Amino acid sequence: MERLWAPWRAVYVTQTKDEDKAECIFCAKLNETRDAENLLLVRRELCFVLMNLFPYNNGHLMVAPIRHVADITELTPNESLALFQLTQEMVELIRRVMGPHGFNIGINLGRVAGAGFPGHFHIHIVPRWDGDTSFMPVVGEVKVISESLEQTYAKLRKGLEAE
């Protein structure tokens, strides 16, 4: 039997799911100045981009409003526009830097809809490549991520600086 080591997943599987006691991961990272360590890629006036700590694929980003709101209906028109414009910019960045064949872009409202952290609205951008699915998720219930988060962050930051 082969073993697939993914020690960074321990943080995810052992964290508390009690949303009432949990600090907002988005707001916490915004309030710090360690953007590279926190994988915070872009800060704007109304929104920001954070890499997903537990990505579905390399380059999995989350675009969120600065203001702590849980639902799409709570966004102002300016926040909505800024979020969508930044989502477009990130798709172009990932396309240029990583060369995916397509994207999944989505919003999960509420835990039942798949939101891992439903308290702070965000948009997921997941780059996809032909052949990026295999027997691993189906048979082994494991997803293989081929590059470290830090490598992907550095690659995307370099792409931002080249603009």
List the catalytic residues.
122
Q: Which DSSP string do the residues of 69-111 spell out, in sequence order?
A: -SSGGG--HHHHHHHHHHHHHHHHHHHHHH--SEEEEE---SG
Q: HSE of 3 in the Cβ direction (CA atoms, 13 Å)?
A: 3
Separation of alpha carbons 61 and 98, rounded Å: 13
Separation of alpha carbons 20 and 17, rounded Å: 9
Spatial CA neighbour of 12 closest among 49, 50, 56, 43: 56
